[in-house]
Structure 1
Amino acid sequence: MEIRKLTPTDAENYRTIRLEALKNKPEAFSSSYEDEIDYSVEKYRGRFNNDHTYTFGAFKGDNLVGTVTLICETKKKIKHRATIVAMYVKPDQRKLGVGKALMNEAINKAKDLKEIEQIYLAVTAGNEFAKRLYTSLGFVTYGVDRNGLKIEDTYFDEELMVLEL
């Protein structure tokens, strides 16, 4: 398995795995499949062209099997913060260390940036597997966003977690 920062040339593969993630685990993301199905490859390509967002991919051969994004804040008062979003590992690659490797890559990038002191993330309260992963990496829950997501008539709480670097 190779973990590396995605580049604009990875946009088509990223779009495919992103739409799969949104379709298969809608409760895990604030965005929805319906929101992003019409996004062009160019829109995704643009995500890889700024200096405050880092998207990493896990590859098995040429296959993109997992992703995670680290977004660094740009406003002066909160430049010490970053947020993990869009964490996803294909079902057949789970429990093989892919998620942990992706998270470690994102955490190490935040540490390399020096000014980042805290990494935040939100996880669906019922997602015990993901919560165990995040806790094993040092994240702690600091709050709960009750009914943070609504899919049709069903609400999902989100646990808010932070890692102090």
Structure 2
Amino acid sequence: MNIEILDARHAEAYRQLRLEALEQYPEAFASSYEEEKDFPVERFHKRLTGTDSTTIGAWHESELIGSVTLVYERKPKLQHRANIMAMYVKPSYRGSGIGKELMQQAIRTARSAGTIEQIYLSVMAHNEPAKRLYQALGFEAYGKDWRALKIGQTYYDEELMALFL
């Protein structure tokens, strides 16, 4: 397995992984498969080459099996903060430490920026394995976003977590 920062060369593999995540786990992401399925690969290329975020990928041989994105705040009063977004590991690879390695690389990336003092994330309140992972890495819950997402007539709560570097 290999962990690396994704760039323009990885746009198609990232697109496929992202669409799988959105389709299989709609309650875990604010975006939807329906919104992103028709996005051209160039849109994913821009995501991976922009300066507002860093996307980290986990590879098994030539298959992208997981990713996480670190999004930087750009407003002057918020530049000490970053956000973890779009964390996903393919189901067949869960429990093998890949999620932990992705998150550790995201934390190292934030630290190396030199200006990031804290990292925020939100996780579905019912996703106990993910919450345990984040807690093991030092994230602490600081609140709940009740009914954060609504899919059809079902609401999903999110737990809000932060890590102070």
TM-score by length of 2: 0.99
CA-CA distance at 1:50 after TM superposition: 1.6
Aligned length: 165
In the TM superposition, what whole-angstrom CA distance separates every residue of 1:18-41 from its partner, at most 9, and x where no partner exists?
000001111110101111111110
Within 2, Cα distance between the matches of 1:94 and 1:155?
Answer: 25
Tell me the distance in 1 between the aligned counterparts of 2:9 and 2:84. Answer: 22
Matched, 1:48 2:84: no
Within 5 Å, which residues of 2 pair with 1:80-91? Answer: 80-91=80-91
- DSSP 3-state at the match of 2:116: coil
5+ long unaligned stretches in structure 1: none
Q: CA RMSD in A?
A: 0.5
Query: What does the per-residue CA deviation read over 1:106-151, in whole Å, with 9 as the maximum and x for residues that have no partner?
Result: 0000000111000000000000010000000000111100000001
Unaligned 5+ segments in structure 2 are none
Q: Find the aligned partners of 1:106 and 1:52 in 2 and give their Cα distance.
A: 14
State the partner residue of 1:143: 143
Shift >4 Å, 4+ stretches: none
Q: After TM superposition, give the deviation of residue 52 of structure 1 in Å.
A: 2.6
Alpha-carbon distance between aligned partners in 1 of 2:60 and 2:69, rounded to the nearest angstrom: 19
Q: Which residue does 1:118 correspond to in 2?
A: 118
Letter in structure 2 aligned against 1:151? I
Deviations 1:48-91 (A, max 9, x none): 11223100000011110000000011110000000000000000
Match of 2:84, as an amino acid? I
